[in-house]
Amino acid sequence: MAIAEAAEAGLDVRPLSGSLGAEVRGLRLAGAGVDEAATVTDLLMRHQVLFFPEQHLSPDEHIAFGRLFGRLEGHPNLATDPERPEFFELRATDGAGGIADEWHSDLTFQDEPSIYSILHMRTCPAVGGDTMWASMYRAYDALSQPMKELCEGLSAIHNAAPHDRAEKMAVHPVIRRHPVTGRKSLFVNEHFTRRIVELSRAESDVLLAHLTRHATQPRFTIRYRWQAGTIAMWDNRCTQHHVLDDFTGERVIQRVTVVGDRPEPAAPLRHVPHDGSRTATSWWDLPYRRFLRERAGT
């Protein structure tokens, strides 16, 4: 949806950076229906992350809004409310607690990672605790052509080691194609991505370090300063995000997550998994080899 079309629909849509992000006013999310969801989806395909100030949704309204976009799933490694298993809350005080302060896309250690995350800022500090997002479309576009060609033939293992669940793993393409826009995006992140399957450990370490550093260049990002009652919604298929742990006071967020998408490689994967020599250093690869064997049924 273009800005002119949004204005005709009674919406005020204000882009917040040259790469991604827009603030949307004039749309009440509580009680929204399929028409409003279609409008939000159109805007999200254009801007990748949207902010809706002054919404103040109840947990049930938050859940109902999320269900307009697909199946919801609670966080697999965090405590949830038994009465609302698809809904969770994170609290942090004076920089300690639930703070996602590494760049990541949500739940990439699952075979079907998050499609959308919908976050309600319930309580925020007067200063600090901002969140940054980065456009993985822009990150892919800025790669050199030889690097694009290399990465489009590769896949990577992601795991839940940050949640003390290193055995929980998934394999995804390094470059994925968005199922709606058709655009290519970089799909590795510093928080969950552990190893490029087709490369040796040494090669993988070098390439992942380059890609994760490249992906979060300031020119690809937006930094958002929160106000209580703001709803943020972002597309995990083409963004990463990072919370700034620079605040004092209390920060409370509530979130639902839309799942059900299996990443599609941007190009056919061209190589078999790396199977290096069995030396004293090969123990690094044992968990990944076991996982890939089990995945292949061999």
Provide the annotated active-site residues. Answer: 104, 106, 241, 255
**Cα–Cα distance measured from residue 245 to residue 282, given in angstroms and rounded to the nearest whole number:** 36
CB 115 within 8 A of CB 28: no
Q: Which two tokens stand for residue 79?
A: 């405590």
The number of beta carbons lying within 10 Å of the beta carbon of residue 216 is 18
Give dist(CA 185, CA 138) in Å, integer: 8
Strand pairing category for 49-52 and 22-25: parallel
Under DSSP, the state recorded for 54 is S
CA-to-CA separations, 80 to 122, 162, 219, in angstroms, rounded: 17, 18, 36
